[in-house]
Chains A and B, each alone.
Chain A
Amino acid sequence: MDFSLKVWRQDSPDAPGGFKTYQAKNISPEASFLEMLDDVNEHLNTIGEEPIAFDDDCREGICGMCGVMVNGHPHGPQDGTATCQLHMRKFSDGDSITIEPWRAAGMPVVRDLIVDRSPLDRIIEAGGYISVNTGAAPDANVIAIPKEAAEASMDAASCIGCAACIAACPNSAANLFTAAKIGHLSLLPQGQPERWTRVIAMVETMEEYFGSCTNHGECESACPKNISIDFIAMMNRDYVKAQFKNFAKIGQ
Chain B
Amino acid sequence: MTATKRVRVHDRQGWRQWLGGFFSSSIGLKWLMALTGIGLLLYVLAHLIGNLKIFAGVDPETGAYPIDLYSEALTTLGGHIVPEGSILLLFRIGLTSMFILHIWSAAVLTRRNRAARGRGRYDATREYITATYASRTMRFSGIIVLLFLIFHLADLTLGNANPDYVYGAVHDNIIASLSRPVVAVFYMAANVALALHIYHGAWSLFQSLGTVNVKYNVLRRYFAGAFAAVILIGNLSIPLAVLAGWVS
A151 to B209, CA, bound (A): 24
Number of residues from A at the complex interface, CB < 8 A:
53
B126 proximity list for chain A (CB < 8 A): 72
By beta carbon, the residue of chain A nearest B18 is A247
Please classify the interface of chain B as helix (H, G, I), strand (E, B), loop, or mixed, using the class held by over half of its residues: loop
A215 lies within 8 A of B9 (CB): no
Q: List residues of B whose CB falls within 8 A of some A CB.
A: 1, 3-4, 6-10, 12, 19, 21-22, 25-31, 109, 112-113, 115-132, 135-136, 138, 200, 203-204, 206-212, 214, 217
B118 lies within 8 A of A98 (CB): no
Partner of B116, one of A71, A106, A229, A239: A106
B210 lies within 8 A of A214 (CB): no
B26 lies within 8 A of A211 (CB): yes
A211 lies within 8 A of B30 (CB): no
B26 proximity list for chain A (CB < 8 A): 173, 207, 211-213
A216 lies within 8 A of B130 (CB): yes
Chain B nearest CB, measured from A98 CB (Å): 4
By beta carbon, the residue of chain B nearest A230 is B212
Chain A nearest CB, measured from B90 CB (Å): 27
If the complex has contacts A171-B117, A204-B25, A211-B9, are A229 and B207 also in contact, measured as CB distance less than 8 A? yes
Interface residues of A in 65-99 (CB under 8 A from B): 69, 71-73, 98
A19 in the interface (beta carbon within 8 A) = yes
Which one of A24-32, A116-124, A126-134, A185-193 is at the interface?
Answer: A116-124
B113 lies within 8 A of A171 (CB): yes
A162 in the interface (beta carbon within 8 A) = no
Chain A nearest CB, measured from B38 CB (Å): 14
B29 proximity list for chain A (CB < 8 A): 212
What are the interface flags for A1-22 relative to B under an 8 Å C-beta threshold, 1 for contact and 0 otherwise?
A: 0000010100000000001000
